[in-house]
Chain A
């Protein structure tokens, strides 16, 4: 896995992102307004968390189908703790993150220690965690969100930079650091790339898998907390529609589903592309009946273009 190959994937994508961004602004000047950039960055902040939560699991060659359910459960626990027992926001955040950790550990335990495929495990826990969510809330949203949390979700650091971007950036950098610079990261990618080889090299795949699922759970919980802050309501339906976006961005960013090859930069660029496109569909008043069709076309084009470029390079190199 050479450095150049990895970098090239996301550079091309970043170029497309910039092109689309400039194009949209030229066609619609209000696109560059401070408020719109704020809105865009807010969306990207949350979507990045969702994509990263899935990306780390893809790195070990598995999937986490319960990502949205963990996020939703963490969201309602976060909101519920503050509303029903008056827990201060900071402690509620810690509680929700711990919950995410536990959920991830459960996933990892059943996958690694008992040896059932992650696909099945997370399919079952997807239903189970969602079920706990529904059982606790009876589908009722939680409105008792403290003002400080609401502020965090809607305030900006400077001008168009939303406050929510800060935790998102921090987590993104952390994940990048772990994957690119720490031995742990190399081990994760090794297990994903070639499990037997990594075992022979002395890495314990089970430990790595459990850690990865736990990390995914924590990131999912963080995303759930951010969603509550952004929506200003503890909605039990948070996470219901995370499954497909969680895969789209990493895949557009060049991740390989069998594991061993992911890119944080690529994933982020993928997130940006999808967010730009979603916004564009609103800005250009695309007939609501055409939106889904357009999104499907774009996913295929983006991935196809990515593939063409890689194919060309592989053919030449």
Chain B
């Protein structure tokens, strides 16, 4: 069952209340009322709205472009989510992503390695940098916001020193080819790939001790410690996981660009902060930690990508797009909040 707004205790009460309707109806109602579904519904609604109001939104070319952008945004969101669930924040996801991508670029261009090992290099670098973050945070006891504020400059600056700002642009064609594949007329295989990653994460948090340990640390680190969980290990591993996912996102982006460039995520990697936080939080992952909504994150990232694409096609005056985006996002959050509130109202009095 989803970790939704309803606790497991509510189900039997609801079905009792509904009389003979049966447990399945109650479960269905609960699932429909979950944050995941409401974000999914919002995303579908936005999609339908834009398809109606614009010409070209549901054209194969646009959908293809949408699918590829969404894949990257989803991964960035999942990366940030892994850190948020264990109670931290990671400002350095963008910087880690760029470092990982430049490392694999170096492997392919300077060392002549083939694509697959180079991608593994990227993932390893990402995980290692994330591991470093986690170790500093866990051992020093400093707040993750502060530490990643520092490591963001450290990682990005170190990368700039090593590369002197120069990109790796003579990469083998085999590297950027996957971004050109299509399933059918518009589906990029990158999107299903991110769904596979999301499914793996959902499995992690729901059914493995490791994942549950991370959630426990996020919910209440003292209690987790008392119950025998190594808080230090959980924090380190969740940051390493975030680094790994960030590296994957950066790899997809580099494939799309056909080159590993230092400005792929903005200065210091800042460009990834907005999508990174927006997706998990809109999707229902609590900022304080302890609760996770993997599919919510996925659908929220989809929602943001759809809105972005739709706005561009609506011929919205050049410079007003960002305003519109902010307002739309606020509306999406409001609607979700209303849903939660109505739901709480319908529950038997607490």
Contact of B157 among A128, A296, A303 (CB under 8 A): A296
Kindly list chain A residues whose C-beta atoms are within 8 Å of the C-beta of B324: 131
Which chain A residues numbered 111 to 169 have a C-beta less than 8 Å away from chain B? Answer: 114-117, 119-121, 123-132, 134-135, 137-139
Does A251 have its Cβ within 8 Å of any Cβ on chain B?
yes
User: In whole angstroms, what is the CA distance A299 to B152 when docked?
Assistant: 10
Kindly list chain A residues whose C-beta atoms are within 8 Å of the C-beta of B281: 117, 119-120, 123
On whether the beta carbons of B325 and A300 are closer than 8 Å, the reply is no
User: In whole angstroms, what is the CA distance A244 to B164 when docked?
Assistant: 24
B206: shortest Cβ distance to chain A, in Å? Answer: 24
Does A86 have its Cβ within 8 Å of any Cβ on chain B?
no
B20-28, B97-105, B116-124, B139-147 - interface stretch: B139-147
Which chain A residues numbered 241 to 268 have a C-beta less than 8 Å away from chain B? Answer: 243-244, 247-248, 251, 256-257
B264: shortest Cβ distance to chain A, in Å? Answer: 16
Kindly list chain A residues whose C-beta atoms are within 8 Å of the C-beta of B270: 243-244
Q: Would you give the 0/1 interface string for A286-301, flagging 1 where the beta carbon is closer than 8 Å to chain B?
A: 0001111111110110
Contact of A307 among B141, B145, B274 (CB under 8 A): B141
Does B167 have its Cβ within 8 Å of any Cβ on chain A?
no
A13: shortest Cβ distance to chain B, in Å? Answer: 15
Residue of B nearest to A294 (CB): B157
Does A88 have its Cβ within 8 Å of any Cβ on chain B?
no
User: In whole angstroms, what is the CA distance A71 to B334 when docked?
Assistant: 25
User: In whole angstroms, what is the CA distance A135 to B317 when docked?
Assistant: 8
Which chain A residues numbered 164 to 196 have a C-beta less than 8 Å away from chain B? Answer: none
Kindly list chain A residues whose C-beta atoms are within 8 Å of the C-beta of B313: none
Does B151 have its Cβ within 8 Å of any Cβ on chain A?
yes
On whether the beta carbons of B154 and A300 are closer than 8 Å, the reply is yes
On whether the beta carbons of B287 and A303 are closer than 8 Å, the reply is no
Kindly list chain A residues whose C-beta atoms are within 8 Å of the C-beta of B318: 138
Could you say which of B151, B153, B156, B327 has the most chain A C-beta atoms within 10 Å of its C-beta?
Answer: B153
User: In whole angstroms, what is the CA distance A129 to B327 when docked?
Assistant: 10
Q: Chain A interface mostly helix, strand, loop or mixed?
A: helix
A131 and B149 in contact (CB under 8 A), knowing A124-B333, A297-B154? no
Does A21 have its Cβ within 8 Å of any Cβ on chain B?
no
Contact of A119 among B143, B157, B268, B277 (CB under 8 A): B277
On whether the beta carbons of A257 and B143 are closer than 8 Å, the reply is yes
Contact of B161 among A251, A257, A289, A297 (CB under 8 A): A289
On whether the beta carbons of A292 and B337 are closer than 8 Å, the reply is no
Could you say which of A114, A119, A124, A132 has the most chain B C-beta atoms within 10 Å of its C-beta?
Answer: A124
A166: shortest Cβ distance to chain B, in Å? Answer: 31
On whether the beta carbons of A293 and B158 are closer than 8 Å, the reply is yes
A116 and B337 in contact (CB under 8 A), knowing A244-B149, A303-B146? yes
Q: Would you give the 0/1 interface string for B317-335, flagging 1 where the beta carbon is closer than 8 Å to chain A?
A: 1111111111101100110
Does B229 have its Cβ within 8 Å of any Cβ on chain A?
no
User: In whole angstroms, what is the CA distance A240 to B155 when docked?
Assistant: 21
User: In whole angstroms, what is the CA distance A135 to B325 when docked?
Assistant: 13
Does A25 have its Cβ within 8 Å of any Cβ on chain B?
no
Does B192 have its Cβ within 8 Å of any Cβ on chain A?
no
User: In whole angstroms, what is the CA distance A166 to B152 when docked?
Assistant: 34
On whether the beta carbons of B147 and A300 are closer than 8 Å, the reply is yes
A135: shortest Cβ distance to chain B, in Å? Answer: 4
Does B198 have its Cβ within 8 Å of any Cβ on chain A?
no
On whether the beta carbons of B149 and A299 are closer than 8 Å, the reply is yes
Does B12 have its Cβ within 8 Å of any Cβ on chain A?
no
Q: Would you give the 0/1 interface string for B265-306, flagging 1 where the beta carbon is closer than 8 Å to chain A?
A: 000101000100110011000010000000000000000000
Contact of B149 among A121, A134, A247, A291 (CB under 8 A): A247
On whether the beta carbons of A304 and B330 are closer than 8 Å, the reply is no
User: In whole angstroms, what is the CA distance A307 to B140 when docked?
Assistant: 8
User: In whole angstroms, what is the CA distance A132 to B120 when docked?
Assistant: 43
Contact of B165 among A119, A128, A289 (CB under 8 A): A289
On whether the beta carbons of B320 and A134 are closer than 8 Å, the reply is yes
Kindly list chain B residues whose C-beta atoms are within 8 Å of the C-beta of A295: 153, 157
Kindly list chain A residues whose C-beta atoms are within 8 Å of the C-beta of B323: 127-128, 130-132, 134-135
A288: shortest Cβ distance to chain B, in Å? Answer: 9
Contact of A117 among B143, B154, B287 (CB under 8 A): B287
User: In whole angstroms, what is the CA distance A35 to B35 when docked?
Assistant: 58
On whether the beta carbons of B157 and A292 are closer than 8 Å, the reply is yes
On whether the beta carbons of A131 and B151 are closer than 8 Å, the reply is no
Does B42 have its Cβ within 8 Å of any Cβ on chain A?
no
Residue of A nearest to B324 (CB): A131
Does B128 have its Cβ within 8 Å of any Cβ on chain A?
no
On whether the beta carbons of A127 and B325 are closer than 8 Å, the reply is yes
Which chain B residues numbered 160 to 193 have a C-beta less than 8 Å away from chain A? Answer: 160-161, 164-165
On whether the beta carbons of B147 and A124 are closer than 8 Å, the reply is no
Given contacts A120-B278, A295-B153, A300-B150, list 8 more A-B pairs with CB under 8 A: A130-B326, A134-B320, A243-B270, A251-B146, A289-B165, A293-B153, A293-B154, A303-B146
- 9 closest cross-chain pairs (CB), A and B: A131-B323, A293-B157, A128-B326, A296-B153, A296-B154, A292-B157, A127-B326, A131-B322, A300-B150
Task: List 22 contacting pairs A-B, 8 Å CB cutoff, sorted by A.
Answer: A124-B333, A127-B322, A130-B326, A131-B321, A134-B322, A135-B317, A138-B318, A139-B319, A244-B270, A247-B149, A251-B146, A257-B143, A257-B145, A257-B146, A290-B157, A293-B158, A293-B161, A296-B150, A296-B152, A296-B157, A300-B151, A303-B147
